[in-house]
């Protein structure tokens, strides 16, 4: 369990006075403010409990943890308290004498009594309950309950299970009303979509459903009806009624949100994990396995740069579910729904199992892919790459999802076996300014800002939507804000619901104007800008990856951090990006932040790598590589986990892939596979060991969860390099770690800081707007494939339109609006949003909103905006 | 020496249009306010402490001491909240008081607010009593119009606003912290204590929560002095109180008398038990207090004596049951009330009342067993003192005391059901078939 008191006191740097008292005749000293139930844990005494949770505020609701207590009065005489006390709400005080069930018949009887009462309305359906075998109610009923019940009357029953969302199911009969789920939702996530309703024995958790509360118009409760063999909900694609099909609901904050779902929380899965009974279950795991049949492997989540600790539960080689691990330093005990539920992508039907080769047809045109042996595939790949290397050259695109070990192998392969600096892992919009920024301010800097810092410093978010791009960051900020230790500022076009829940002060910026706003922080004429400068002195600036799309923004961030004395951290979305920056999969960066342009750095590294010299020509970035490949100036590409749709210009990417000789290292077949000449299958995270780096630069090593023949990228690259005549020396994890560990820290100069002036912001004309866009946590990304229950909780894609613009083009909330460029248009329901005039926002890659593929532009571009007719045509 | 009635609060209930400001003033109303506003607030608190006034809402906590718990002023708001959520079965004193002389309460509210430094007081009223709600709203409006509320109370410069809030009819909202949550617009469930309302009450600010009768007693203490107040009642239960007699008495109603009066004396004033019947059992303080019988007719009705006799003075709601009444039936009805009103927050009250009702209904219907009687006692034992708030304890009082006093009557039900005729106990035309809520019903 998390020790809240010690971490809290350490954070404040103050000494908390100790309190000495007695539990079961054992003297114990704890910091003042410690609850009796926590103090008992410290000396190994387990008091049964349900509502108590170390990360939630005390509730005292279940009454299971009753103990007998005596307190000294003013004269020091011990006075027994007349009633047993809930040890989960009682703070230890000096001289207190506590008797738990181990030494007090009164406490023991009280606990047995409460347990019997908890069970009278419980269905006792343990044999068919997902929680059976790992259930605190079941376990504690055995340890602290009666063997038989005296209850012979009629149990309260409910229809079940209720679908709170497509992903979260509620069996109200099993619920013991401990309120852990509602307290989590209120206190931690800030998503108050479920709460208690009704009272007495009919009290139940619910989502303010009019059918439960008896309001007029309340329709049938949506009951979960199961899933088909592929795990897809049976009723419909999303498993539930859409907003349009749902009956009229009473107006109010608990009604449907913009996503059309009542429990559209990114953190809803945590309620399942902390439920001490089987009342809340996950639809995707329901009736799939028993806990005692599962094997658990601690691991690290692969979906963002937070590196959340997870526990992978698998059975006979199949991952059944993932739970939050307990890591006070990173994710405490919480997890985003994406990290929890999105794992089926690793075993999707399009998973690549064997190497594939594309033979040339008789006419010399590319033929179909066929299965091949590793030996043949590696040979063909090496021949093709060698020819290109000795000719126009090879480009390397590793992608942003790699472990440090795999990324390092790409970096080394490019510089040694392929003799090029044309390597860039950034499979997303990027810029030369960003490359300089990463080389100057990120690579080789080690841990500076930590998760814990976010709870106790003022934080400025620039181009970062914490709830969507880093759920744990969001939770840490919220925790700090609620405790009054953090204040959050955000440079963004609008205050999202996530920003509102961290009480962020919005410093509004239309896309493209961020540098201007950053430079204006401290402007005494604007109270928010002035307050930001004051608060951020010694604070933290968190920079999101999309700032690469704004010329001059990262230069302005560096200026700002220097000016305010604030610490800086860069928060990429993907799990592999921070580690990749560190190990040098950038065209201008070698491992450890060594600039390619620095001769001493190259020499030092060449010695470690045992090669004569390293290429000195700075490489091309991703767009440069693709442009060159499309033009025939690069003849071959080595491509890792890259989805062309994520790239700044997906069309350019496809043309480049079509033209070049492509060696693809992929887990699943993709648009790259369709154009690859050699496909080498690699292992997904569950099937390999490795290390992700958090945005903090904290290494997050994880073990291989499943036995597998699939190879990690570094082993494939090692073999490939061998065929190219280079011993990469990275054939095993040990070799990689030995080599990485042997790399001395770079003591030379870092890359120059970028100094990019910002251009005039774009000026949209009549019927035009500036595009703002970023990824929502749950969208159409390939790493969420195969998880329909999760997809049902994704926010509904909408187009946010500034109020003035909406008025000019005549659209209101819910009206279809079309955002277009010369390449195409995206039509979504409008949500009129308070933001700078002339701005329209779209999700980057949600269903029906593939911005880069459809519009072929990114944030900051001028796009057309118009009301759409119902069939999607522009009016 | 027989105790006599001491009408103070109820003295002018029969005056013409007693609820109007004019009628109240005609009987000396708001004179105490004039005195109070010329007095140092600390002296007012001292006077109430010296009077020995104890909370009239049931628990009997000394009112002046409660006020004294407020932390020193810090410049922020502090609140007075009057608990007018009178919902206990049998209790019917605050509602007639507010109905007849709402200004009596208002004067107390103004004096108390002045004494504790409150500038916004709230009266949280049980929502079902719409007629009382109208009277209170009307009285508050009259007081504003007369300059007794608002920016300059009676020309003193003291500023006070009063809000009358109607609850939505939940027994739990009579629990002071649940009342505060409800008043804040939240679900009415009791809060964890500490912090106590005096430190963090309404909107997390220092708050005094007092019963209607307590606050309405304050003007008389200011007007006639603490010594006058102490001259009535007993040494530790000073003053007077409204005793509400209901049930099988000739003249039910509110009898205002010094604490320490006995039921025998009250019954004499009320014309005795129903003609031709004997007293069987009674509640001294409402349905949350253990039952008394004819043995207890001479127990002085003060906090200490009633406590020593094994019950609680509570709200002085004397429900009188004569020998026509089936005790099992009465207790089952009360248990059904507690089950219906359990807020659901804690396990013992929520599940325990659900269970007790089913067992009691079975016993009443003649389907009980001897084990059921033991189970009833033990379930009550597992609720009493284990629930989150005192309301869970209250649910067990009549059951445990009833079982102790009338075990044979329970046992008589075990074979063949209730030996009583409900019609004989009814004080109204009794239609058979409207009998018990029906043994075996669940989930209602």
pLDDT for A316-332, tens place per residue? 999 999 999 999 999 99
Here the CATH number for the domain that contains residue A89 is 3.10.20.740
Q: Which two tokens stand for residue A302?
A: 């692969």
My answer on whether A289 and A361 are in the same domain is no
Last residue in a domain, options A115, A144, A173: A144
Q: pLDDT (tens digit, 9 = 90+) per residue, A620-636?
A: 999 999 999 999 999 99
Mean pLDDT of A191-203: 88
Q: Which of A136-150, A160-174, A784-798, B426-440 has the lowest mean pLDDT?
A: B426-440
Task: Please determine, for residue A870, whether its predicted confidence score (pLDDT) is greater than 60.
Answer: no
| A8 has pLDDT over 50 | no
Output the pLDDT for position A241. 36
pLDDT tens for B221-258 read 999 999 999 999 999 999 999 999 999 999 999 999 99
For residue B20, CA distances in Å to B31, B94, B123, B142, B154 come to 16, 17, 18, 8, 18
∠ CA B113-B116-B121, rounded to 5°: 30
Judgement on whether residues A671 and A551 belong to the same structural domain of the protein: no
Does the beta-carbon distance from B346 to A60 stay under 8 Å?
A: yes
pLDDT at A167: 87
The yes-or-no verdict on residue A11 having pLDDT over 80 is no
List the CATH number of the domain containing A843.
2.40.40.20
Between chain A and chain B, the number of residue pairs with CB atoms below 8 A apart is 110
Asked if the structure places residue A156 within a domain, the reply is: no
pLDDT in tens, A500-536: 999 999 999 999 999 999 999 999 999 999 999 999 9
The three-state secondary structure class of B157 is coil
Same domain, A312 and A379: no
What integer pLDDT is reported at residue A762 of this predicted model?
Answer: 86
| A672 and A794 together in one domain | no
Q: What is the mean pLDDT of chain A?
A: 91
Question: What pLDDT digit, counting tens, does each position of A431-455 carry?
Answer: 999 999 999 999 999 999 999 999 9
Q: Answer with the one of A532, A553, A572 that is the final residue of a domain.
A: A572
pLDDT of A249 reads 28
Same domain, A235 and A255: yes
Whether B307 and chain A come into contact, CB under 8 Å, resolves to no
Lowest mean pLDDT among A246-255, A671-680, A818-827: A246-255
Q: Tell me the per-residue pLDDT of A662-706, one tens digit each, with 9 for 90 and over.
A: 999 999 999 999 999 999 999 999 999 999 999 999 999 999 999
A261 and A340 within one domain: yes
| CB atoms A199 and B354 under 8 Å | no
pLDDT of residue A572: 98
Within a domain: A873: no
| B389–A contact, CB cutoff 8 A | no
Please state at what angle helix A650-659 crosses helix A622-631, rounded to 10 degrees. 50
Domain of residue A489, residue span: 439-572
pLDDT at B152 over 70: yes
Across B139-166, average pLDDT: 97
pLDDT digits (tens, 9 = 90+) for A477-500: 999 999 999 999 999 999 998 999
pLDDT at A746: 94
pLDDT at A871: 53
User: Pairing state of beta strands B317-322 and B240-247?
Assistant: parallel
**CATH code of the domain containing A530:** 3.40.228.10
Who among B192, B350, B387 is closest to A201 (CB)?
B350
**Residue A14's pLDDT band (boundaries 50, 70, 90)?**
low
Shared domain for A404 and A325, answered yes or no, is no
Q: Are residues A229 and A377 in the same domain?
A: no
* Radius of gyration in angstroms for the set of CA atoms belonging to chain B, rounded to a whole number: 22
Q: Is A624 on the interface with B (CB under 8 A)?
A: no
Which of A82, A154, A198 lies at the smallest CB-CB distance from B385? Answer: A82
Q: Is residue A107 part of a domain?
A: yes
pLDDT of B443 over the 60 cut = no
| pLDDT range class, residue A7, cuts 50, 70, 90 | very low
CATH (one of 3.90.170.10, 1.25.40.10, 1.10.1040.10, 1.20.1440.230) for B327-425: 1.20.1440.230
Do A589 and A685 fall into the same domain?
yes
Whether residue A303 lies inside any domain: the answer is yes
Residue of B173, B386, B396 for testing the chain A interface, max A β-carbons within 10 Å: B386
Q: Whole-angstrom Cα distance, residue A317 to residue A294?
A: 10
CB–CB of B443 and A157 under 8 A?
Answer: yes
Q: Answer whether A199 sits within 8 Å of B442, measured CB to CB.
A: no
Domain total in chain A? 5
Helix axes A374-389, A713-723, angle to 10 degrees: 60
From the CA of A209, how many Å to the nearest CA of chain B?
A: 16
Question: Tell me, what's the pLDDT at A247?
Answer: 32
Asked if A116 has any chain B CB less than 8 Å from its own CB, the reply is yes
Q: Which residues of B touch A153 (CB under 8 A)?
A: 355, 358-359, 362, 442
Which of B341, B343, B351 has the CB atom closest to A121's CB atom?
A: B351
Burial class (CB in 10 A: 0-12, 13-18, 19+), B39: middle
CA atoms within 13 A on the CB side of B423: 5
pLDDT (0 to 100) of residue A251: 23
Q: Round to whole Å and give the CA distance between A259 and A68.
A: 49
**B21-230: CATH class:** alpha beta
Minimum CA–CA partner of B347 in chain A: A62
Task: Report the pLDDT value the prediction gives residue A791, as an integer from 0 to 100.
Answer: 86
Q: Using a CB–CB cutoff of 8 Å, tell me whether A61 touches chain B.
A: yes
Strands A309-315 and A295-300 come out as antiparallel
Task: Provide mean pLDDT across the span B185-201.
Answer: 95
For residue A212, the model assigns a pLDDT of: 55
Question: Of all residues in chain B, what percent carry a pLDDT higher than 90?
Answer: 94
Confidence check: pLDDT of A5 > 80? no
Which whole-number Å values give the CA distances from A171 to A50, A124, A166, in the listed order? 17, 12, 14
Cβ atoms of B350 and A200 closer than 8 Å: yes
CB of B191 less than 8 A from some CB of A:
no
A263 pLDDT tier (thresholds 50, 70, 90)? low
Where does a domain end: A549, A572, A595?
A572
| pLDDT of A569 | 98
The verdict on a CB contact (< 8 Å) between B192 and A110 is no
> Are A193 and A336 in a shared domain?
yes
Helix (H, G, I), strand (E, B) or coil at B72: coil
Predicted local distance difference test score (pLDDT) of residue A792: 81
Q: How confident is the model over B417-434, as a mean pLDDT?
A: 84
Is the CB of B344 less than 8 angstroms away from the CB of A110? no
Helix (H) or strand (E) holding A300: strand A295-300
Residue that is written with structure tokens 């009259």 in the block: B142
Q: Is the pLDDT of residue A379 over 70?
A: yes
User: Does B380 have pLDDT greater than 80?
Assistant: yes
Residue numbers in A near B345 (CB within 8 A)? 61, 177
Find tokens 């009307």 and name the residue: B138
A82 found inside a domain = yes
| pLDDT band of B2, cuts 50, 70, 90 | confident
Question: Distance from B125 to chain A by nearest Cα, in Å?
Answer: 20
Rounded to whole angstroms, the Cα distance separating B385 from B403 reads 19
Whether A78 and chain B come into contact, CB under 8 Å, resolves to no
pLDDT at B125: 98
- A606 and A627 share a domain? yes
Q: Topology of B240-322 in CATH?
A: Ubiquitin-like (UB roll) (3.10.20)
Q: Is B13 on the interface with A (CB under 8 A)?
A: no
Q: How confident is the model at residue A793 (pLDDT cuts 50, 70, 90)?
A: confident
Of the residues B351, B364, B381, the best mutation for testing chain A's interface (the one with the most A CB atoms within 10 Å of its CB) is: B351
Q: Is the pLDDT of residue A214 over 60?
A: no
Q: Are residues A331 and A448 in the same domain?
A: no
In the prediction, which pLDDT does A211 show?
55
pTM higher than 0.90 for the full model?
yes
Predicted local confidence at residue A452, as pLDDT: 97
**Which whole number is the average pLDDT over A196-223?**
68
Instruction: Assess whether the region B240-322 and the region B327-425 belong to the same CATH fold.
Output: no
Q: Give the residue, A147 or A640, on which the prediction is more confident.
A: A640
Q: What does residue B282 show for φ and ψ, rounded to 5 degrees?
A: -155, 160
What's the confidence (pLDDT) of residue A75?
Answer: 93
């Amino acid at each position: 369990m998390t020790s809240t008191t010690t971490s809290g006191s350490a954070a404040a740097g103050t000494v908390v006075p100790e309190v000495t008292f007695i539990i079961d005749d054992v003297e114990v000293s704890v910091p003042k403010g410690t609850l009796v139930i926590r103090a008992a844990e410290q000396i190994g005494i387990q008091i049964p409990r349900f509502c108590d949770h170390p990360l939630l505020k005390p509730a005292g609701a279940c009454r299971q943890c009753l103990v007998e207590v005596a307190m000294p009065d003013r004269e020091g005489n011990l006075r027994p308290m007349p009633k047993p006390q809930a040890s989960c709400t009682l703070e230890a005080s000096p001289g207190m004498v506590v008797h738990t069930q181990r030494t007090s018949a009164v406490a023991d009887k009280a606990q047995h009594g409460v347990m019997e009462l908890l069970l009278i309305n419980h269905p006792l359906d343990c044999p068919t309950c997902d929680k059976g075998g790992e259930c605190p109610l079941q376990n504690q009923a055995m340890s602290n309950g009666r063997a038989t019940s005296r209850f012979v009357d009629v149990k309260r029953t409910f229809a079940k299970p209720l679908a709170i969302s497509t992903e979260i199911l509620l069996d109200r009969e099993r619920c013991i009303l401990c309120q852990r789920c509602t307290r989590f939702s209120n206190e931690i996530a800030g998503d108050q979509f479920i709460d208690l309703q009704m009272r007495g024995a009919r009290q139940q958790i619910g989502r303010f459903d009019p059918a439960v509360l008896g309001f007029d118009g309340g329709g049938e409760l949506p009951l979960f009806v199961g899933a088909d063999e592929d795990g897809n909900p049976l009723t419909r694609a999303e498993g539930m009624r859409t907003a349009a099909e749902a009956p009229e609901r009473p107006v109010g904050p608990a009604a449907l949100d913009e996503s059309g779902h009542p429990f559209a929380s990114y953190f809803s899965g945590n309620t399942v994990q902390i439920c001490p009974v089987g009342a809340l279950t996950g639809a995707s795991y329901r009736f799939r396995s028993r806990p005692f049949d599962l094997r658990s492997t601690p691991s690290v989540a692969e979906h963002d740069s937070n590196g959340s600790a997870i526990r992978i539960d698998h059975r006979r080689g199949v991952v059944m579910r993932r739970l939050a691990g307990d890591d006070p330093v990173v994710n405490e005990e919480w997890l985003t729904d994406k990290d929890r539920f999105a794992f089926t992508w690793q075993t999707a039907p399009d998973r690549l199992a064997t190497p594939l080769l594309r033979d040339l047809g008789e006419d010399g045109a590319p033929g179909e892919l066929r299965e091949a042996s590793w030996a043949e595939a590696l040979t063909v790949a090496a021949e093709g790459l060698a020819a290109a290397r000795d000719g126009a050259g090879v480009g390397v695109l590793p992608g942003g999802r790699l472990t440090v070990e795999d990324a390092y192998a790409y970096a080394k392969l490019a510089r040694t076996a392929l003799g090029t600096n044309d390597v860039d892992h950034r499979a997303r919009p990027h810029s030369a300014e960003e490359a300089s920024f990463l080389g100057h301010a990120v690579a080789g800097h080690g841990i500076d800002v930590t998760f814990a810092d976010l709870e106790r410093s003022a934080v400025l978010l620039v181009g970062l939507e914490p709830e969507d791009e880093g759920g744990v960051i969001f939770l840490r900020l919220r925790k700090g804000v609620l405790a009054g230790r953090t204040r959050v500022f955000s440079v963004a076009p609008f205050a999202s619901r996530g920003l509102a829940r961290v009480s962020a002060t919005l410093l509004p910026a239309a896309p493209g104007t961020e540098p201007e706003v950053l430079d204006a922080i401290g402007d005494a004429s604007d109270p928010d800008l002035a307050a930001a400068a004051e608060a951020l002195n010694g604070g933290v600036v968190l920079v999101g990856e999309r700032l690469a799309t704004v010329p001059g923004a990262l230069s302005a961030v560096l200026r700002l951090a220097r000016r305010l004395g604030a610490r800086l951290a860069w928060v990429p979305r993907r799990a592999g990006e921070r580690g990749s920056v560190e190990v040098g999969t950038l065209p201008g960066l070698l491992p450890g932040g060594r600039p390619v342009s620095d001769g001493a750095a190259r020499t030092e590294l060449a010695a470690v790598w045992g090669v004569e010299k390293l290429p000195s020509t700075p490489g091309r970035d991703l767009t440069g590589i693709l442009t060159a490949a499309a033009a025939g100036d690069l003849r071959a590409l080595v491509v890792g986990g890259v989805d062309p749709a994520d790239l700044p210009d997906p069309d350019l990417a496809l043309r480049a892939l079509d033209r070049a000789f492509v060696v693809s290292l992929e887990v699943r077949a993709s648009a790259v596979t369709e154009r690859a000449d050699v496909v080498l299958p690699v292992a997904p995270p569950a099937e390999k060991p490795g290390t992700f780096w958090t945005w903090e630069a904290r290494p997050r090593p994880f073990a291989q969860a499943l036995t597998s023949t699939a190879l990690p990228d570094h082993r494939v690259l090692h073999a490939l390099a061998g065929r190219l005549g280079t011993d990469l020396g990275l054939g095993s994890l040990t070799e990689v770690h030995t080599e990485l560990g042997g790399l001395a820290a770079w003591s030379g100069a870092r890359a120059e800081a970028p100094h990019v002036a910002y251009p005039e912001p774009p000026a949209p004309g009549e019927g035009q707007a500036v595009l703002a866009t970023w990824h929502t946590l749950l969208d159409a990304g390939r790493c969420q494939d195969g998880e329909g229950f999760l997809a049902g909780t994704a926010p509904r894609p909408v187009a946010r339109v500034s109020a003035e613009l909406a008025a000019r083009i005549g659209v209101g909330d819910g009206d279809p609006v079309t955002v277009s460029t010369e390449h195409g248009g995206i039509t979504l329901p409008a949500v009129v949003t308070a933001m700078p005039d002339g701005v329209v926002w779209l999700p980057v890659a949600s269903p029906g909103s593939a911005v880069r593929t459809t519009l072929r532009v990114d944030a900051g571009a001028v796009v057309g905006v118009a009301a759409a007719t119902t069939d999607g045509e522009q009016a | 020496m027989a105790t006599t009635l001491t009408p103070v609060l109820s003295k002018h209930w029969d005056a013409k249009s007693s609820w109007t400001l004019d009628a109240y003033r005609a009987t000396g109303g708001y004179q105490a306010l004039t005195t109070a506003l010329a007095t140092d607030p600390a002296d007012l608190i001292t006077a109430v402490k010296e009077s020995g006034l104890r909370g009239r809402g049931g628990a009997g906590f000394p009112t002046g001491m409660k006020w004294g718990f407020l932390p020193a002023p810090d410049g922020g708001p502090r609140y007075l909240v009057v608990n007018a959520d009178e919902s206990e079965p049998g209790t019917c004193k605050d509602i007639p008081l507010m109905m007849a002389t709402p200004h009596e309460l208002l004067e107390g509210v103004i004096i108390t607010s002045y004494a504790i430094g409150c500038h916004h007081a709230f009266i949280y009223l049980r929502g079902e009593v719409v007629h009382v709600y109208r009277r209170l709203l009307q009285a508050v409006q009259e007081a504003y119009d007369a300059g007794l509320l608002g920016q300059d109370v009676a020309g003193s410069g003291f500023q006070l606003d009063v809000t009358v809030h109607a609850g939505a009819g939940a027994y739990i909202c009579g629990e002071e912290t649940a009342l505060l949550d409800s008043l804040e617009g939240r679900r009415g469930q009791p809060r964890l204590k500490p912090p106590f309302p005096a430190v963090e009450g309404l909107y997390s600010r220092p708050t005094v929560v007092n019963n209607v009768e307590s606050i309405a007693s304050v003007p008389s203490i200011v007007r006639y002095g603490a010594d006058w107040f102490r001259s009535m009642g007993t040494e530790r239960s000073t003053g007077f109180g409204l005793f509400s007699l209901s049930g099988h008495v000739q003249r039910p109603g509110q009898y205002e008398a010094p604490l320490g009066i006995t039921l025998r004396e009250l019954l004499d004033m009320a014309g005795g038990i129903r003609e031709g019947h004997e007293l069987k059992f009674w509640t001294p303080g409402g349905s949350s207090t253990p039952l008394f019988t004819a043995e207890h007719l001479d127990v002085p009705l003060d906090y200490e004596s009633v406590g020593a006799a094994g019950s609680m003075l509570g709200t002085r709601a004397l429900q009188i049951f004569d020998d026509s009444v089936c005790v099992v039936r009465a207790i089952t009805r009360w248990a059904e009330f507690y089950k219906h009103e359990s807020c659901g927050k804690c396990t013992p009250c929520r599940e325990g009342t659900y269970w007790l009702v089913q067992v009691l209904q079975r016993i009443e219907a003649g389907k009980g067993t001897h084990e059921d009687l033991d189970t009833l006692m033990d379930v009550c034992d597992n609720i009493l003192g284990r629930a989150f708030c005192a309301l869970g304890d209250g649910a067990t009082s009549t059951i445990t005391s009833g079982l102790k006093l009338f075990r044979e009557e329970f046992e008589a039900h075990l074979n063949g059901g209730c030996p009583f005729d409900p019609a004989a106990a009814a004080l109204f035309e009794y239609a058979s078939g409207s009998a018990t809520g029906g043994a075996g019903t669940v989930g209602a």
